Amino acid sequence: MTANSKRNLGNGLWSYRSLLNNPDLSVDFNNLEFGRGNLLIETSDDGSITGKIYDTGWELEIKGGFMYGNPGCLWFQGKGIVNGSLWIYDYLCYVVPIIPNGVNQIPALVGSVTRAIPHPDGQGGTSPAGVVCSFYAVAQPIK
């Protein structure tokens, strides 16, 4: 399998961004940010996924699976200790198909992320379980 065909399954390093699902168009776009980081996905021939989602100061190990299709589907869970507390997030996403007549299309994943358990919010409060946000990830260049 080539690097590009594996990338079509989600394999590789991605730039990840998630956004609050707020339908109010008057909300400033910068106020919709939920998270950002690097997403490293390693796929196996048995359909499993391992890797990590991370940025400066935090890292979650991911485990899950993928399914071929049009579009391909990936589901995984990120789990780790951040600032002394357990964080668990669930992810479901699809591989964006190549768009006919697209120019310089960068491979992308689109989907949803759900906070599976509550954790401290870093400001003395709690980030509650069950929050669902949208996310997208774009492929970083293969080196």
Ranges of beta strands (E only) in 12-107 are 12-20, 33-43, 48-55, 58-67, 73-82, 85-95
How much is the pLDDT for 6? Answer: 53
Residue 2: pLDDT band (50, 70, 90) is very low
Name the pTM for this structure.
0.91
Mean pLDDT value across residues 72-101 = 95
How much is the pLDDT for 3? Answer: 47
Q: Which residue has the higher pLDDT, 57 or 63?
A: 63
Nearest to 93 by CA among 142, 130, 139: 139
Mean pLDDT value across residues 94-106 = 91
> What's the mean pLDDT when you consider all of the chain?
92
How much is the pLDDT for 8? Answer: 58
Backbone φ and ψ of 76, nearest 5°: -160, 165
How much is the pLDDT for 141? Answer: 87
Q: In this predicted structure, which of 8-12, 16-20, 52-56, 119-123 has the lowest mean pLDDT? A: 8-12
pLDDT above 60 for 5: no
Residue 69: pLDDT band (50, 70, 90) is confident
How far is 98 from 40, CA to CA, in rounded Å?
21
